[in-house]
């Protein structure tokens, strides 16, 4: 077909979409591009730019996978917009109807404060009700953990959370949980996993048009569907549960005296996290003023992600000014938690802990709390997280499981009492929230810090204690953000064709292609796109594409024993040197 024919086919697609798009804003966006693309009295460069813009918006539908939907806001099938969300909601309800043998589903729906979130949640509720279901809307913009809690607490058949978590301001997303009568057992209330994602995607693809989807008030009346805005009692129930997670190991005066700086990073967790901590007995919690209120533009950070360099600058400045003991940072939907602690040996006097360090501290705490339980307890972490948690579990006589990356896998491990992943995600109360929860994790972290502080000890000292017992587990990420998505597949193929034979001066003794399924110590691990290398020195490297962002991610770990009587700092220095060698070798092998 000629270029002109290709263009006409594209323009026909656009015109058809415009006729079916319920949102005047995205209709106007497409009509303006159409005007330029049709070439009436415009420069050729303007016409080509408009055609390219339309081609991108219509390059295919947003993929519905185990992360649900996530993408840039805008018009067309390859963007997040009301038309795409209505189709997704219709596909989800059709899947639920099929799973429930025709019964009407109950779906609880939450949303954050990003652009479009409330409208997407309302559209989802109208689709559920229009198809005869019961839609339960959260009472305002709230954190993702509240939605995850509500799925189990209300025994809903599904949950939908409209959020793009820590993505840039121009993005939004659509996360799906299953429970109630659809999924029972350990996976109840967790995010979707295969084959549910593919089955929902198939139902979405079968939606003929937005206009064909029942969602108006008269449809709900005809089908018996309902929309109910939940009361504050749900939020109170979550607050009460999260605030109860303090332990008997820490005294009330110790909690009351701990000075905490908290930032929600312009997200929806600030007020709730502050109230949870206050209810848990932490009386001195200062919110970072510039980041306390929800703001979809995230004006004070380059990326609204606590992992990103500079994201905690305002919080650390407030901590220094207020002589704080602890900094806690949630991402915008408050499902992640970052921690910083005083460190006199560091420039600025504060150090942000890695996700693996926090994961180990919370893991040791969880293991102590679970050791006396009669029920067999399991600690779990993603395969890309540090192996230290497995050593902690063994030392306490508990089981450990490694899973694929993502809390959709971690949270459904049978017998789970604690799970984490290195990307600042912690599940400390799986009985209530089968997902990462940055607010309940903040309670546990603050409780641990208060107990140590009362003993004249520090979080850094607790990490040294773990190192003496289990060795220094030094980890580092090597992440490359790409503009050309093909570069990701080229990187993976390069490593598959020419894997490294030595890393950091030690021979690679085990190279595993995770596409084949299984991994060292985890023979039942499902297949995933990733590569794992183990060296004779015990170092480990895992390389994988990001599941939610255009990134290649490498996860590096060095394990260095601490000799009897040796200062931990000496072992850390050796581990740090080898870690730098590992970074250099992996960068070269992967062409990064």
DSSP states along 15-76: HHHHHH---HHHHHHHHHHHHHHTTTT--HHHHHHHHHHHHHHTSSPPP-BTTBEEEEBSSS
Residue 64 lies in a domain: no
User: How far apart (Å, rounded) are the C-alpha atoms in residues 384 and 402?
Assistant: 9
3-class SS letters over 455-469? CCCCHHHHHHHHHHH
Label residue 2 by pLDDT band (50, 70, 90).
very low
Whether 580 and 521 map to the same domain: the answer is: yes
The stretch 348-370 carries a mean pLDDT of: 96
CB 160 within 8 A of CB 124: yes
> Scanning the structure block, which residue is given the tokens 């929806």?
268
Give the domain CATH number at 585. Answer: 3.30.310.50
Please give the helix or strand (H or E) that residue 171 lies within, else none: strand 171-178
Q: Which of 165, 338, 382, 402 is catalytic?
A: 165
CA distances 114 to 62, 167, 528, 560, Å, are 19, 10, 31, 44
Q: Which residues contact 131 (CB under 8 A, 6 or more apart)?
A: 90, 93, 94, 97, 104, 214, 219, 223, 225
Of residues 223 and 373, the one with the higher pLDDT is 223
Single out the residue of 408, 354, 410, 348 nearest to residue 381, CA to CA: 410
Label residue 260 by pLDDT band (50, 70, 90).
very high
Of 445, 467, 489, the last residue of a domain is 467
Of 198, 230, 262, the last residue of a domain is 230
The total number of structural domains that make up the chain: 4
The stretch 554-582 carries a mean pLDDT of: 95
Please give the helix or strand (H or E) that residue 439 lies within, else none: helix 438-454
CB 516 within 8 A of CB 592: no
Tell me the H-state helices in 301-437.
313-322, 355-370, 388-395, 407-410
Whether 330 and 314 map to the same domain: the answer is: yes
Label residue 295 by pLDDT band (50, 70, 90).
very high
Whether 16 and 92 map to the same domain: the answer is: no
Task: Tell me the residue range of the domain where 224 lies.
Answer: 69-230
Whether 196 and 245 map to the same domain: the answer is: no
CA distances 425 to 166, 405, 410, Å, are 12, 11, 10
pLDDT at 376: 84
Residue 518 confidence (pLDDT) above 90: no
Range in 1-10, 53-62, 145-154 the model is least confident about: 1-10
Whether 502 and 354 map to the same domain: the answer is: no
User: How far apart (Å, rounded) are the C-alpha atoms in residues 269 and 165?
Assistant: 11
The stretch 35-58 carries a mean pLDDT of: 90
Single out the residue of 196, 12, 163 nearest to residue 80, CA to CA: 163
User: How far apart (Å, rounded) are the C-alpha atoms in residues 383 and 525?
Assistant: 9
Residue 95 lies in a domain: yes
User: How far apart (Å, rounded) are the C-alpha atoms in residues 7 and 28?
Assistant: 20
Residue 392 confidence (pLDDT) above 60: yes
Range in 257-266, 380-389, 519-528 the model is least confident about: 519-528
Residue 309 lies in a domain: yes
Residue 40 confidence (pLDDT) above 80: no
Residue 459 confidence (pLDDT) above 50: yes
Q: Which two tokens stand for residue 536?
A: 């004779």
Whether 416 and 359 map to the same domain: the answer is: yes
CB 515 within 8 A of CB 580: no
Whether 427 and 380 map to the same domain: the answer is: yes
Burial of 226 (0-12, 13-18, 19+ CB in 10 A): middle
Residue 327 lies in a domain: yes
CA distances 78 to 60, 171, 360, 482, 483, Å, are 6, 12, 40, 19, 17
Whether 256 and 349 map to the same domain: the answer is: yes
User: How far apart (Å, rounded) are the C-alpha atoms in residues 463 and 472?
Assistant: 9
- Mean residue pLDDT of the chain comes to 94
The DSSP bridge pattern shows strands 158-162 and 171-178 to be antiparallel
Of 230, 251, 286, the last residue of a domain is 230
CB 305 within 8 A of CB 311: yes
pLDDT at 4: 52
Give the domain CATH number at 108. Answer: 3.40.120.10
Residue 137 confidence (pLDDT) above 60: yes
pLDDT at 332: 97
Render the burial of 309-327: b for 16+ CB within 10 Å, e for the rest: eebbebbbebbeeeebbbb
Residue-level length of the chain: 592
Whether 258 and 404 map to the same domain: the answer is: yes
Q: What percent of the chain has pLDDT over 90?
A: 85
Tell me whether residue 99 is one of the annotated catalytic residues: no
Q: What is the gyration radius of the CA atoms in the chain, in angstroms? A: 25
Give the pLDDT confidence of 473-499 residue by residue, as tens digits: 999 999 888 877 788 888 899 999 999
pTM: 0.94
Residue 352 lies in a domain: yes
Give the pLDDT confidence of 65-121 residue by residue, as tens digits: 877 999 999 999 999 999 999 999 999 999 999 999 999 999 999 999 999 999 999
pLDDT at 546: 81
Q: Give the chain's count of helices (H) and strands (E).
A: 19, 22
Residue 63 lies in a domain: no
Residue 217 confidence (pLDDT) above 90: no
User: How far apart (Å, rounded) are the C-alpha atoms in residues 10 and 465?
Assistant: 63
Whether 225 and 76 map to the same domain: the answer is: yes
Residue 62 lies in a domain: no
Residue 1 confidence (pLDDT) above 60: no
Whether 264 and 372 map to the same domain: the answer is: yes
Distance of CA 146 to the CA centre of its chain: 14
Burial of 79 (0-12, 13-18, 19+ CB in 10 A): buried
Whether 207 and 245 map to the same domain: the answer is: no
Q: What share of the chain is helix, strand, coil (3-state, %, to 5)?
A: 40, 20, 40
pLDDT at 205: 96
Residue 300 confidence (pLDDT) above 90: yes
> Scanning the structure block, which residue is given the tokens 């050791």?
371
Give the pLDDT confidence of 191-211 residue by residue, as tens digits: 999 999 999 999 999 999 999
């Amino acid at each position: 077909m000629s270029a002109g024919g290709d263009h006409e086919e594209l323009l026909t697609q656009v015109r058809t979409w415009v006729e079916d798009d319920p949102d005047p804003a995205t209709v106007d966006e497409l009509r303006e591009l159409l005007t330029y693309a049709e070439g009436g009295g415009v420069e050729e460069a303007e016409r080509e730019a408009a055609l390219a813009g339309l081609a991108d918006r219509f390059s295919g539908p947003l993929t519905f996978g185990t992360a649900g939907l996530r993408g840039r806001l805008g018009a067309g099938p390859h963007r997040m917009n009301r038309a795409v969300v209505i189709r997704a909601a219709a596909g989800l309800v059709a899947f639920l109807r099929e799973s429930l043998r025709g019964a009407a589903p109950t779906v609880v729906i939450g949303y954050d404060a990003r652009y479009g979130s409330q409208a997407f949640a309302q559209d989802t509720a109208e689709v559920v009700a229009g198809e005869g279901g019961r839609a339960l809307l959260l009472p305002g913009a709230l954190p993702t953990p509240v939605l995850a809690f509500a799925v189990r607490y209300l025994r809903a058949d599904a949950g939908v959370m409209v959020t793009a978590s820590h993505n840039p301001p121009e993005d939004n997303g659509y996360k799906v949980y299953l429970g109630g009568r659809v999924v029972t057992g350990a996976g109840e209330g967790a995010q979707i996993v295969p084959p549910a994602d593919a089955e929902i995607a198939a139902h979405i693809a079968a939606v003929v048009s937005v206009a064909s989807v029942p969602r108006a008030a008269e449809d709900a009346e005809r089908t018996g569907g309902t929309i109910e805005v939940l009361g504050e009692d749900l939020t109170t129930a979550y607050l009460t549960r999260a605030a109860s997670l303090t332990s008997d190991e820490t005294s009330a005066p110790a909690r009351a005296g701990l000075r905490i700086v908290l930032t929600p990073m312009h997200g929806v967790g600030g007020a709730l996290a502050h109230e949870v901590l206050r209810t848990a007995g932490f009386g001195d919690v200062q919110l970072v003023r510039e980041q306390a209120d929800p703001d979809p533009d995230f004006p004070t950070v380059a990326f609204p992600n606590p992992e990103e360099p500079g994201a905690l600058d305002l919080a650390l400045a407030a901590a220094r000014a207020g002589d704080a003991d602890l900094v806690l940072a949630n991402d915008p939907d408050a499902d992640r938690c970052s921690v910083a602690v005083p460190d006199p040996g560091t420039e600025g006097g504060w150090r942000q802990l890695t996700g693996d360090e926090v994961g180990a501290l919370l893991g040791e705490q969880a293991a102590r709390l679970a050791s006396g339980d009669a029920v067999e307890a399991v600690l779990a972490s993603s395969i890309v997280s540090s192996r230290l948690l497995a050593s902690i579990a063994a030392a306490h006589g508990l089981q450990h499981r490694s899973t694929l990356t993502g809390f959709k896998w971690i949270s459904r491990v049978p017998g789970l009492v604690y799970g984490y992943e290195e990307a600042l995600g912690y599940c400390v109360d799986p009985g209530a929230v089968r997902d990462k929860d940055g607010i309940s994790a903040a309670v546990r972290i603050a409780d641990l810090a208060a107990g140590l502080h009362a003993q004249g000890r520090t979080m850094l000292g607790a990490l040294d204690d773990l190192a003496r017992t289990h060795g220094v587990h030094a980890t580092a990420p090597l992440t490359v953000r790409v503009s050309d998505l093909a570069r990701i597949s080229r990187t993976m193929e390069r490593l598959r064709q020419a894997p490294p034979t030595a890393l950091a001066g030690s021979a690679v003794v085990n190279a595993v292609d995770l596409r084949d399924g299984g991994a060292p110590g985890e023979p039942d691990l499902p297949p995933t796109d990733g590569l794992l290398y183990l060296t004779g020195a015990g170092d480990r490297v895992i390389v994988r594409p990001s599941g939610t962002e255009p990134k290649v991610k490498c996860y590096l770990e060095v394990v260095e024993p601490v000799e009897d009587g040796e200062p931990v700092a000496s072992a850390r220095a050796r581990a740090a040197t080898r870690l730098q060698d590992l970074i250099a070798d992996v960068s070269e092998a992967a062409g990064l």
